[in-house]
């Protein structure tokens, strides 16, 4: 297997940058272990699709498994580069159109954010937050949330570069949910986002 599990007592030099990245994003040891975090220390590791097309580079990434909520069977995975200020479209790579975490909310309200770390931050604040892994929510992701009993959806993408995407996604979401909300960022500092 290409990934290396990050253990709570790891001191191996190869894993140090991955721990530093996760700590810099505000994750605790318990959160890192609870999410079964792994790393891919290789500098380059090309990911190819079933059709032979290039999907992205898995090198220098943290990786999280996605498990089916009831059986805990592995159904997918998600990875994120640890490179700072990464702007390419493959910042997150995953194998399917899932939301993370794959656990339904208990109150019918879901907040969809771009990244896994944003979802962790909002969950700490008491919201049922889910990562869509990009500035779009796919039809499959909408259907998953709807099947979980979500009736109200909040779209909370990184505001500095996603206002148009949030509004477009809100229009699409109205086909699935009775209420759709987009935050008003007019009084929020420009450098803040869901993860903050």
For 9-48, what is each residue's pLDDT tens digit? Answer: 444 555 788 988 899 888 888 888 888 898 888 888 888 8
- pLDDT at position 194, please? 64
SS3 181: strand
CB-count exposure of residue 166 (10 Å: 0-12, 13-18, 19+) = buried
92-124 burial: b if 16+ Cβ within 10 Å, else e: bbbeebbbbbbebbeebbbbbbbbbbbbbbbee
Contact (Cβ atoms closer than 8 angstroms) between residue 25 and residue 4? no
Q: Give yes or no for residue 127 having a pLDDT over 60.
A: yes
pLDDT at 9: 44
- Segment 164-178 shows an average pLDDT of 92
Q: How far apart, in whole angstroms, are the C-alpha atoms of residue 58 and residue 67?
A: 20
Instruction: Tell which phi-psi region holds residue 133, choosing left (phi > 0), alpha (psi between -120 and 50) or beta.
Output: left
**pLDDT (0 to 100) of residue 96:** 62
Could you tell me the pTM of the whole model? 0.77
């Amino acid at each position: 297997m290409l990934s290396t599990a990050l253990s709570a007592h790891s001191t191996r030099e190869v894993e140090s940058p991955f721990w530093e990245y996760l700590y810099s994003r505000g994750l605790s040891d318990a959160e890192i272990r609870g999410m079964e975090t792994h790393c891919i220390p290789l500098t380059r590791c090309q990911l190819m699709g079933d059709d032979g097309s290039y999907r992205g580079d898995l090198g220098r990434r943290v990786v999280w498994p996605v498990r089916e909520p009831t059986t805990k069977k592995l159904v997918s995975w998600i990875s994120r580069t640890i490179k700072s200020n990464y702007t390419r479209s493959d910042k997150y790579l995953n194998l399917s159109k899932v939301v993370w975490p794959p656990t339904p909310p208990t109150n019918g309200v879901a907040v969809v954010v771009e990244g896994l770390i944003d979802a962790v931050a909002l969950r700490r604040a008491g919201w049922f937050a889910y990562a869509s892994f990009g500035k779009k929510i796919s039809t499959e992701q909408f259907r998953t949330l709807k099947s979980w009993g979500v009736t109200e959806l909040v779209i909370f993408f990184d505001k500095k570069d996603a206002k148009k995407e949030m509004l477009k996604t809100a229009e699409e979401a109205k086909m699935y949910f009775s209420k759709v909300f987009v935050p008003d960022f007019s009084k929020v500092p420009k450098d803040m986002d869901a993860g903050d």
